[in-house]
């Protein structure tokens, strides 16, 4: 079994560049073909074999010494987003959320509306129904903030429902929030949709490292990239039958009352689905301690991940979660390069450790 230096400066830069490319590729749950093409091209470039499931999830395999695929690293490429629920008589669009998030974090967002032609989209802005203080005064501060009180103002000359129909807009069109990623001088990454895509960037960086260094892991490992985590059933299919250990990589919750680290890795003990596997979580904690990786333990009360979807679908595997720190999840999100690197280091160690 080969051993490699965990992360070089070049690998770190590549991971960040890849994350930025993923963030700039819209992928609300249900409309993920474009981002999966990007991910597939990266695996192909590094010679990592992969297949697509009927639903469009991707399973790649890293070589290992075991006869069966014993391990699974699970990440998700889909994000929260919206869908058009009504073409309004005023030439604007009514929305419903795809995934779970508050309309207060959608209000003010720049968006792309995707019609059925995959090569076309229309831009717009999510606006509260009462958007102008000059017109409504204090009412802009007292209006409700639910989805029935926002609408999309599209960037076309429209004022009626018929105008929208002529543009090809329909009920069920996907609406993606524009991410506007920013990398700060202090190493923070601020963007929408870090939830999911930072995990994908970490997994791709691991695949790059192992492939370029021709590492044969102690166990054959699948990397499962799911496309419906945000709506609850991402890892319900696509896993090999013999997986003994599964680690889902997703955001850790940095907020008052939580213990997650924004500049380290978090190993949750439980979420709303229940406790994660006792033995696997303690193994991950031990690896972090032994290698000097900054980590914290936490419990997530309002959270589920691909690990839950896999277990509910009948996967006979130990399951755990590894989290990169995320402030403001499902809103304007923020993580730190050091957190992504800490998660990478922990997963790098886990994948090279025998069961």
Assess whether pLDDT exceeds 60 at residue 326. Answer: yes
User: In the structure encoding, which two tokens stand for residue 207, read together?
Assistant: 């695949």
Cα first-last separation, the chain: 14
Q: Where are the beta strands (DSSP E) in the chain?
A: 50-52, 58-62, 69-76, 81-87, 93-98, 110-114, 121-128, 150-154, 174-177, 182-183, 188-191, 220-226, 245-254, 265-271, 274-275, 295-299, 318-327, 333-336
Q: Among this protein's residues, is 229 annotated catalytic?
A: yes
| Residues 328-337: tens digit of each pLDDT | 999 999 999 9
Residue keyed to tokens 């965990």? 6
Contacts of 159 (CB under 8 A, 6+ apart): 90, 91
What phi and psi, each to the nearest 5 degrees, are found at residue 138? Answer: -65, -15
Residue 308: how many CA atoms within 13 Å on its side-chain side? 18
CB contact at 8 A, 133 and 153: no
Assess whether pLDDT exceeds 80 at residue 258. Answer: yes
Hey, which residues does 62 pair with through a beta bridge?
221
Give me the architecture of the 9-79+193-351 domain, per CATH: 3-Layer(aba) Sandwich (3.40)
Task: Give the active site residue among 86, 151, 229, 290.
Answer: 229
Assess whether pLDDT exceeds 70 at residue 5. Answer: no
**In percent, how much of the chain has pLDDT > 90?**
95
Give me the architecture of the 81-177 domain, per CATH: Beta Barrel (2.40)
So where are the chain's domains? 9-79+193-351, 81-177
> Distance between CA 313 and CA 237 in Å, rounded?
8
Q: Which of 234, 228, 239, 296 is nearest to 262 (CA)?
A: 296
Tell whether pTM > 0.85.
yes
The pLDDT assigned to 4 comes to 45
């Amino acid at each position: 079994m080969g051993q490699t230096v965990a992360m070089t400066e070049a690998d770190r830069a590549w991971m960040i560049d890849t994350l930025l490319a993923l963030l700039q590729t819209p992928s609300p749950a249900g409309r993920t073909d474009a981002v999966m093409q990007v991910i597939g091209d990266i695996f192909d470039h590094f010679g990592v074999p992969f297949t697509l499931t009927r639903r469009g999830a991707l399973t790649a395999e890293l070589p290992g010494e075991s006869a069966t695929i014993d391990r699974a690293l699970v990440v998700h490429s889909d994000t929260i987003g919206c869908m058009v629920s009504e073409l309004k008589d005023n030439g604007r669009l009514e929305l419903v959320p795809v995934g779970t998030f508050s309309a207060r974090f959608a209000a003010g967002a720049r968006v792309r509306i995707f019609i059925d032609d995959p090569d076309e989209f229309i831009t717009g802005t999510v606006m509260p129904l009462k958007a102008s203080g000059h017109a409504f005064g204090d009412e802009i501060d007292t209006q409700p903030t639910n989805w029935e009180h926002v609408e999309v103002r599209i960037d076309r000359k429209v004022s009626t429902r018929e105008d929208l129909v002529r543009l090809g807009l329909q009920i069920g069109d996907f609406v993606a929030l524009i991410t506007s990623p920013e990398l700060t001088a202090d190493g923070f990454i601020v963007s929408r949709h870090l939830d999911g895509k930072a995990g994908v960037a970490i997994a791709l960086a691991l695949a790059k490292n192992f492939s370029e260094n021709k590492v044969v892991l102690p166990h054959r490992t699948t990397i499962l990239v799911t496309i419906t985590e945000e709506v609850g059933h991402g890892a319900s299919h696509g896993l090999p039958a013999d997986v003994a250990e599964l680690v889902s990589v997703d955001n850790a919750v940095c907020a008052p009352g939580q213990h997650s680290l924004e500049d380290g890795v978090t190993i949750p003990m439980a979420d709303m689905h229940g406790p994660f596997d006792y033995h696997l979580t303690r193994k991950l904690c031990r690896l972090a301690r032994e290698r000097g990786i900054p980590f914290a333990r936490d419990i997530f009360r309002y959270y589920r991940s691909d690990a839950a979807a896999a277990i509910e679908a009948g996967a006979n595997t130990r399951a755990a979660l590894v989290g990169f720190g995320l402030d403001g999840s499902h809103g304007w999100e923020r993580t730190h390069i050091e957190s992504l690197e800490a998660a990478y280091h922990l997963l790098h160690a886990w994948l090279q450790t025998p069961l």
